[in-house]
Structure 1
Amino acid sequence: MVKVDGHVHTPFCPHGSRDSFEMYVERAIVLDYSAITFTEHAPLPVGFRDTTPEEDSGMDPSRIGDYFDALDVLKEKYKDKIIIRSGLEVDYIDGFEKETAEILATYGPRMDDSILSVHFLEHRGKWDCLDYSPDVFESMIGYYGSVDEIYKRYYKTVLQSVRADLGFYKPKRIGHITLVKKFQKLFPASQSFTDEISLILQEIAGRNLALDYNGAGFVKPYCGESYPPPDVIKQARTLGIKIVYGSDAHTADGLDQGRDLMK
């Protein structure tokens, strides 16, 4: 079986570990991976203010050239052992499509692969990083009115990301489409949102995009499942959507996380 990890972070992640690129690659080789894509968090769009306390959700724009240069060296170093792809995890932020397209137009030529994800939601002018912490999510419930309303906004925003025109270099894979469930054991929704998820999958299929099958949810104490869970993956496969495993590792030890539990 060909093993691929399409969602790996790096020492360039401002909220990750300092584990070296070589630590990630050497571990991937030990785990018998054929290919990995490094998908560091892209710089956030110009004009958007990061809501996290350390403002460390995206890479510093001044470092992105060094990031791609480092990957070029890594590709050459390990060319006989593993395929290494250069990529980014790009945030879709509602209302910042033009600025995001500009980021992609600038760095797209250096990317082999990429992911488009939703982390930030807007409610009446207030932005939140919905997966930052249980405390942030709980505060969101206060002004959204319920857990269900947060889920509705999240899935609406993911749908917008799939439909968005972000130019020629728009990512071809949609990231962790059920990330909103990260704290579900603390703050469960009252419904499954199958209709919203089905529509997202139909739109992904209609645009010939791929789906990130993300193992990180298994190691999050208040989630306990992949993003998305297996029933959604089964539906995606019936629609002919390409599924790409992603560890979403932020440390070398995080590679392969959840994979043994995923069908």
Structure 2
Amino acid sequence: MKRDAHIHTPYCPHGTKDSLENYIKKAIKLGFKDITFTEHAPLPTNFEDPTPEKDSGMDPHFIVSYLNELNTLKEQYKDDIHIRIGFEVDYIVGYEVETTSFLNLIGSQIDDAILSVHFLKFNDEYTCIDYSSETFLEFTKKVGSVKSVYDLYYETLKKSILADLGQYKPKRIGHPTLVHKFQLAHGEQIDDDANIKEILQLMADHHYELDVNSAGLAKTDCKEPYPPLRYIKHAKSLNIPLVFGSDAHQVTDLHQYYDKIFPID
């Protein structure tokens, strides 16, 4: 069954205004039977978004509209496609209590969710590591090296897996090699094989699903899925459930590169 479980929406402040219905119609046309809308959850109100536009998460004032619109469409298209309502939730070191509170508030109203790391903490400051190549390269100077940024990213991922975020904690880990997004920009060959395998083993031990995220293939400075294909195969060998996600922020990108990744041999 063709499923895409990482899709953004017009409620994304850094995405497009492509309608939810257009995403749904394209999914049906391409033979997908199961989709999840996973808009970026609102960031904790006491967390300062480090991106220039302050647009990393949904405006909390739109949560009710988001849920209501999707519930209406879910019913309208129930005979054609299974629509799940969800969020992509940020794991931010130091904001576990706030994140748990949000999940407790919203958890019973959604069907699915992803837990992702976009923000890294260093010297009491946060950086969005996937914002731009310039931001990433500047962050490597602060931390000391590209390798140190990679290590910090995987250490934060481990914390996200082990964190107690309550009964509604997402059970799928989002794009677990997002730190590769600018690998062709920094040009260094970083050996993070042990880090990735450690993350996947931890996911297996704690019964997490893997967001097999195709968006990296479309990124100029990445050109590979998150995680790369060899690690998707490794995850499969560990019996980690593989869940495709196009991470589309516009209808054009919906289901991008699905056929390059699935089926996994």
TM-score range, shorter chain: over 0.9
* Pairing 1:207–2:211 present: no
In structure 1, give the amino acid aligned to 2:56: S
Structure 1: distance between partners of 2:134 and 2:196: 26
What residue is the counterpart of 1:32 in the other structure? 31
Q: Specify the alignment match of 2:57 in structure 1.
A: 58
Q: Deviations over 1:4-60 (max 9, x none)?
A: 001000010010000000010000011100010000000011311001111000001
Cross-structure match for 2:75: 76
1:148 matched to which residue of 2?
147
The CA distance in 2 between the partners of 1:59 and 1:152, in whole Å, is 29
Tell me the equivalent position of 1:238: 237
Q: Deviations over 1:77-114 (max 9, x none)?
A: 10110000000000000111010000000000111000
The answer to whether 1:108 aligns with 2:115 is no
Q: How many residues align?
A: 262
Quote the residue 1:127 is aligned against: 126
> How many Å apart are 1:256 and its aligned residue?
1.3
TM-superposed deviation, 1:226: 0.2
Amino acid at match of 1:47: N
- Cα distance, 1:76 vs structure 2: 0.8
Contact 1:148–1:190 (Cα < 8 Å) also in 2: no
**One-letter identity of the residue aligned with 1:81:** D
- Give the secondary structure class of the aligned counterpart of 1:185: helix
Q: Which amino acid is 1:50 matched to?
A: D
Residue aligning to 1:20 = 19
What is the one-letter code of the residue matched to 2:130?
Answer: D
TM-score by length of 1: 0.98
What is the CA distance between 1:261 and its match in structure 2? Answer: 1.8
Give the aligned CA root-mean-square deviation in angstroms.
Answer: 0.9
Q: TM-score by structure 2 length?
A: 0.97
Q: Which residue of 2 aligns with 1:251?
A: 250
Partner of 1:175: 174
Identical residues among aligned pairs (%) = 50
Give 3-state SS (helix, strand or coil) of 2:157's partner: helix
Gaps of 5+ in 1: none
Q: Which amino acid is the alignment partner of residue 38 of structure 2?
A: T
2:227 is matched with which residue? 228
CA drift of 1:191 comes to: 2.7
Distance in 2 separating the partners of 1:137 and 1:223: 13
Residues in 2 aligned to 1:182 and 1:258: alpha-carbon distance in whole angstroms: 16
**Residue matched to 1:162:** 161
Distance 1:248 1:91 in 2: 15
Alpha-carbon distance between aligned partners in 1 of 2:44 and 2:242, rounded to the nearest angstrom: 28
What amino acid does structure 1 have at the position aligned with 2:177?
T
